[in-house]
Amino acid sequence: MYNITVIPGDGIGKEVMKATLSVLDALNLNLNYTFAEAGDECLEINGEALPEKTIQLCKKSDACLFGAAGETAADVIVKLRHEMELFANLRPVKSYPGTNALFNDIDFMIVRENTEGLYKQDEEKYTENGAEAKRIITRQAESRICDYAFKYAVKHGKSKVTGVHKANVLKKTDGLFKKIFYETAENYKNKGIDAEDFYVDATAMYLITQPKTFEVLVTTNLFGDILSDEGAGLVGGLGLIPSANIGENGALFEPVHGSAPDIAGKGIANPLAMMLSAVMMLNYLGETEEAENLDKSILKVLKESKNLTPDLNGNSTTDEMAEAVKIELLKFNKS
């Protein structure tokens, strides 16, 4: 039995979570859900966006599923990453059939450092002349994320890792990142993993002009956040991008889209990013066969193009799309 903390959150987070849990019920697994609160509505009701009870539930669980947060996203998901020490953020960029992908064979992973940089919000403050923020880059954190990226490449049969930085301008902070990246690369030469690096602005261009050349990218917190949203644009939008937040003793899985208040309550939100996040969770738990079956079920629904939400040029509801995936998943269990 796996103990899963479920945080639906705000807006469409609740809708895509409900749809995803209905699909997970078709797995041959014993998943025990504990529901927890966080987000805008939680703040309004309880006076805090992320209660301590939710943090403790997450820390004690085998994995967490998170839907979406609205205006309190920074107070919720960023704080959870820090509290749970989830140092690695994984954002796969993969093209699926039946979507608005610009290319039909993109498949790479962005590995983003998750605990420091500007997002640490350390000493961000107003000044007499405006505002300022402190950027934190440490050898410990960047060594850990670079090593994670190379280990990921080895485990998943990749041949190259790309380091992304702005060391030509940020000579000390990103200069340190670049130095650590190549120090780490030396440890993996005998495993057949090549290393290259690009400036972040050049990388942003290359993601558009030559995305098929990438396999694994590793970068700092803010750069990784921006590039992964660009990657989403390559493969049809945020409704198709899952993510994982991984630490030494815990993990949290979430779609990268927000609470989407403009469509919340209409029942038309695309649930696939949440479902694909669940695929990542299953792989994390070691349930690779179930993860593969769920992924194949999603792929089948996309290929058939009969039960797609409006963002994918269909007219199905969130629940109808989820039901189509569930029907395909049940076929695997019967075979």
**DSSP states of 282-330 as a string?**
HHHTT-HHHHHHHHHHHHHHHHH-SS--GGGT----HHHHHHHHHHHHH
Residue 128 lies in a domain: yes
Q: Same structural domain for residues 127 and 202? A: yes
Structural domain span for residue 42: 1-87+239-335
| pLDDT higher than 90, residue 335 | no
Residue 189 lies in a domain: yes
Confidence of residue 303 (pLDDT cuts 50, 70, 90): very high
| pLDDT higher than 90, residue 104 | no
Q: Same structural domain for residues 188 and 261? A: no
Residue positions annotated with a catalytic role: 119, 166, 201, 225, 229
pLDDT digits 0-9 by tens, 144-153: 999 999 999 9
Residue 102 lies in a domain: no
Lowest mean pLDDT among 23-27, 83-87, 122-126, 165-169: 122-126
Residue finishing a domain among 206, 234, 262: 234
Would you say 144 and 115 are in contact if contact means Cβ atoms under 8 Å apart?
no
Residue 269 lies in a domain: yes
Q: Same structural domain for residues 111 and 40? A: no
Confidence of residue 285 (pLDDT cuts 50, 70, 90): very high
pLDDT digits 0-9 by tens, 184-240: 999 999 999 999 999 999 999 999 999 999 999 999 999 999 999 999 999 988 888
Which backbone phi and psi does 125 adopt, to 5 degrees?
A: -160, 160
Q: Same structural domain for residues 335 and 259? A: yes
Q: Same structural domain for residues 204 and 319? A: no
Would you say 200 and 170 are in contact if contact means Cβ atoms under 8 Å apart?
no
Residue finishing a domain among 234, 254, 279: 234
| pLDDT higher than 80, residue 333 | no
Q: Same structural domain for residues 125 and 142? A: yes
Q: Same structural domain for residues 245 and 225? A: no
Predicted local confidence at residue 239, as pLDDT: 81
Residue 97 lies in a domain: no
Q: How many domains does the chain have?
A: 2
Angle in degrees, CA 253, 87, 281, rounded to 5: 25
Q: Same structural domain for residues 205 and 121? A: yes
Q: Same structural domain for residues 263 and 300? A: yes
pLDDT digits 0-9 by tens, 37-62: 999 999 999 999 999 999 999 999 99
Residue finishing a domain among 210, 234, 258: 234
Residue 182 lies in a domain: yes
Average per-residue pLDDT for the chain: 95
Predicted local confidence at residue 211, as pLDDT: 96
Predicted local confidence at residue 210, as pLDDT: 96
Residue 99 lies in a domain: no
Would you say 245 and 254 are in contact if contact means Cβ atoms under 8 Å apart?
yes
Q: Same structural domain for residues 192 and 251? A: no
Return the structure tokens found at 54.
């939710």
| pLDDT higher than 70, residue 302 | yes
Distance of alpha carbon 214 from alpha carbon 108, whole angstroms: 6
pLDDT digits 0-9 by tens, 122-133: 778 999 999 999
Q: Same structural domain for residues 111 and 188? A: yes
Q: What percent of the chain lies above the pLDDT cut of 70?
A: 99
Longest dimension (CA), the chain: 68
CATH code where residue 282 lies = 3.40.718.10
Q: Same structural domain for residues 191 and 278? A: no
Q: What percent of the chain lies above the pLDDT cut of 90?
A: 89
Residue 9 lies in a domain: yes
